[in-house]
Copies of this chain bind each other. A is one copy, B any other.
Amino acid sequence: MAPPLDQRPNHSLIGVPGSRERLATPALVLDIDAFEGNIAAMASWAEKHSLGLRPHAKTHKCSIIAKRQVEAGALGNCTATLSEAEVLVDAGVPGVLITSTVVTPDRIERLVALNDRASRLMVIVDDPANVDALNEAMRQGAEPLYVLVDVEVGCGRTGVVSQVDAVDLIDKVTASPNLRFGGLQAYDGGVQAIESFEDRRKALDSDLQALREVIDVMNRRGTIVPMISGGGTGTHEIDRIGGVFTEIQAGSYIVMDSIYNGCDLHGSGAAVFFTSLFVRATVISTAKKGFVTTDAGLKAFSVGSGDPQIASGAPQGATYTFMGDEHGRITFAKDGHGMALGDQVECIAPHCDPTIALYDCYHVVRGDTLIDIWPIDARGHW
């Protein structure tokens, strides 16, 4: 396995002025000032509007960051996987909501064991047999496991489709002696990145109709729905205006990426959060004319959401393109522009979540100095 962080070359640079420019690359860099500003901005937005905030850890996969979010007022963290939830719970993060179903016997066993050591663990369901399996696996009198019914709102992944199925499933969870009905979850992944606020608002409004109908039925029956969890960085302000969700699962706002930088998040045209995440790359060849080659390619960035955007280090107008698994190319806009061997650039990730998942750690910088290295301790599939 990769060596511990304190045995890696960059560890000796902590606290050294100018060390940001000297990192062994490709390196994932977290600008602490922008990062802390984003955490504070979302926390104060949620507080101002009396909305719950349960940020999604699938973005950061890092228990240090999860704890910082909770310290700033978040209810807990969402996770996309059971293994992420295990890492966060064992690091002491309360209120973990697993936003995927847990369906196999081996994993249900792990979920039950995790619940015993967690504070208010939650999981979603979209299948009656899965509710039975969870109920059977839970021991009577154990720490309660909160189960949310997942409702399809246009994401096309998990979630029951019809109002009837949703209501039946809520009844089934409620009737399961070893489970507690936690509420509803609905995530509309498809609309998060629509650039125009108004277009995004309209798309979400239409997608949420199914969820509203389920809530209406529950209200008419007098069934209390303890919470309705959903939303994301792209829609959080629209989710607030719509008034359906009791808590927001936004994740990307802490770091921001090219996708969300292109979205008008609050309809004002103004940036609400600022990029705190960068990938640092080093020029390793200047043998060609008009471009230089770096050490950061397809293994250092997410692919499929465009090219990395150069934030600093290169002459004006230079562009970054992938040149295979381990190499990138910086192409200059003007003749005579160039960079020297060993020069570094910082790029904004096209898509933050899968980029972060490539790395074992954040290089936390304040200004030009590396101040800490945080393990991405919830990365890795198992």
- A→B interface (CB under 8 Å): 1-2, 4-5, 8-10, 22, 24-27, 58, 80-81, 83, 100-107, 110, 126-127, 129-130, 152, 155-161, 165, 189, 282-288, 293, 295, 298-300, 302-304, 323-327, 329, 341-342, 353-354, 357-360, 375, 377, 379-382
Determine if B156 and A323 form an interchain contact, defined as CB atoms under 8 angstroms apart: yes
Q: How far is the CA of A160 from the CA of B287 in the complex (A)?
A: 6
Q: How far is the CA of A162 from the CA of B27 in the complex (A)?
A: 33
Copies in the complex: 2
Chosen A-B contacts, 27 in total, with CB atoms closer than 8 Å, are A1-B360, A2-B377, A9-B106, A24-B104, A24-B106, A24-B382, A80-B326, A100-B284, A101-B285, A105-B342, A127-B285, A127-B287, A157-B293, A157-B327, A158-B284, A158-B285, A159-B285, A159-B287, A161-B287, A161-B288, A165-B287, A303-B303, A303-B304, A304-B304, A325-B353, A360-B380, A360-B382
Q: How far is the CA of A382 from the CA of B6 in the complex (A)?
A: 12
Q: Quick one: which of A161, A295, A300, A379 has the most chain B CB within 10 A?
A: A295
Q: How far is the CA of A304 from the CA of B110 in the complex (A)?
A: 34
Q: How far is the CA of A362 from the CA of B323 in the complex (A)?
A: 27
| Min C-beta distance of A323 to chain B, whole Å | 5
For A155, list chain B residues within 8 Å (CB). 324
Partner of A353, one of B299, B342, B380: B299
What is the chain B residue whose CB lies nearest that of A284? B101
Q: How far is the CA of A157 from the CA of B107 in the complex (A)?
A: 45
What is the chain B residue whose CB lies nearest that of A285? B158
For A382, list chain B residues within 8 Å (CB). 2, 8-10, 24, 27, 360
| Min C-beta distance of A295 to chain B, whole Å | 7
For A375, list chain B residues within 8 Å (CB). 1
For A286, list chain B residues within 8 Å (CB). 127
Determine if B325 and A129 form an interchain contact, defined as CB atoms under 8 angstroms apart: no
Extra A-B contacts (4), CB below 8 Å, given A26-B381, A158-B285: A100-B327, A126-B285, A158-B284, A360-B380
Q: How far is the CA of A158 from the CA of B287 in the complex (A)?
A: 7
Determine if B126 and A287 form an interchain contact, defined as CB atoms under 8 angstroms apart: yes
For A104, list chain B residues within 8 Å (CB). 22, 24, 282, 342
| Min C-beta distance of A184 to chain B, whole Å | 14
For A9, list chain B residues within 8 Å (CB). 106, 110, 382
Partner of A156, one of B5, B161, B329: B329
| Min C-beta distance of A287 to chain B, whole Å | 4
Q: How far is the CA of A160 from the CA of B285 in the complex (A)?
A: 9
| Min C-beta distance of A161 to chain B, whole Å | 6
Determine if A298 and B287 form an interchain contact, defined as CB atoms under 8 angstroms apart: no
Partner of A295, one of B100, B283, B299, B326: B100
What is the chain B residue whose CB lies nearest that of A357? B299
For A10, list chain B residues within 8 Å (CB). 382
Determine if B158 and A22 form an interchain contact, defined as CB atoms under 8 angstroms apart: no
Determine if B358 and A358 form an interchain contact, defined as CB atoms under 8 angstroms apart: yes
A299-B353, A357-B358 known; A157+B324 contact, CB < 8 A? yes
Q: How far is the CA of A1 from the CA of B5 in the complex (A)?
A: 9
Q: How far is the CA of A127 from the CA of B285 in the complex (A)?
A: 8
| Min C-beta distance of A369 to chain B, whole Å | 16
Determine if A129 and B341 form an interchain contact, defined as CB atoms under 8 angstroms apart: yes
For A324, list chain B residues within 8 Å (CB). 155, 157, 189
Determine if B381 and A157 form an interchain contact, defined as CB atoms under 8 angstroms apart: no
Q: How far is the CA of A307 from the CA of B360 in the complex (A)?
A: 26
For A342, list chain B residues within 8 Å (CB). 103-105
